[in-house]
A = this chain, B = another copy of it.
């Protein structure tokens, strides 16, 4: 059994849980919560960065970050299912990195509230992050993904949009009608998307 060190709200961990379901690997992975703010968490030994998701194998070896875990799960499932081989690989991985960048910027925005008093917030920093999100979403809207493909780029985009729904009230929806349609199509094809939705409390 592999352990997925995770948190219910993490969009990066959600990618792994959806991928595991799509690949039929969920019964080989036990999802175990990790409190990233707890210095005594074994997570900090498993992954010195203290970041989730981290995948711990049966022999204790750890695999991270989320992009590496996704590739490992694809490898376990025979390869080529979530990431194509050959030249096509790099377009998919780049769009996956773009989706990851949306999540990174969104999380840094949330961290501003979590780590700092309101009086010390930096409007310039927050604008910088929201600019990244806006440009990335505009790029995805202009070239909406193939609704037939469930690959690492699609899984990443779905989790990025899901995180914007969770933490920013889904404001992205008003200006990105193609992505709204695309996300519905993705959710219909990958039931794990709905099953992994974070619910507070």
User: Is A170's beta carbon under 8 Å from chain B?
Assistant: no
Name the residue on B nearest A47 (C-beta): B98
User: B64, A67: Cβ atoms under 8 Å?
Assistant: no
Interface string of A95-119 (1 = CB under 8 A from B): 0011011000100000100011001
User: A94, B136: Cβ atoms under 8 Å?
Assistant: no
Chain A contact residues, CB within 8 Å of chain B: 44, 47-51, 61-65, 67-68, 71-72, 75, 87, 89-91, 93-94, 97-98, 100-101, 105, 111, 115-116, 119-120, 122, 124-125, 128, 131-132, 135-136, 138-139
A-B contact pairs, 14 of them (CB 8 A): A44-B135, A47-B98, A49-B135, A50-B131, A50-B135, A61-B91, A65-B97, A65-B101, A67-B97, A68-B94, A71-B93, A75-B89, A111-B125, A120-B120
In the complex, the count of this chain's copies comes to 2
Bound-complex Cα distance A154 to B94 (A): 23
Name the residue on B nearest A51 (C-beta): B101
A132-B94 contact, Cβ under 8 Å, with A124-B115, A125-B115, A125-B116: no
| Chain A interface SS verdict (over half) | helix
A61-B91, A64-B98 known; 18 new pairs, CB 8 Å cut-off, are A47-B98, A48-B135, A49-B98, A49-B105, A49-B135, A49-B136, A51-B101, A63-B90, A67-B97, A68-B94, A68-B97, A71-B90, A71-B93, A75-B87, A111-B125, A115-B124, A115-B128, A119-B120
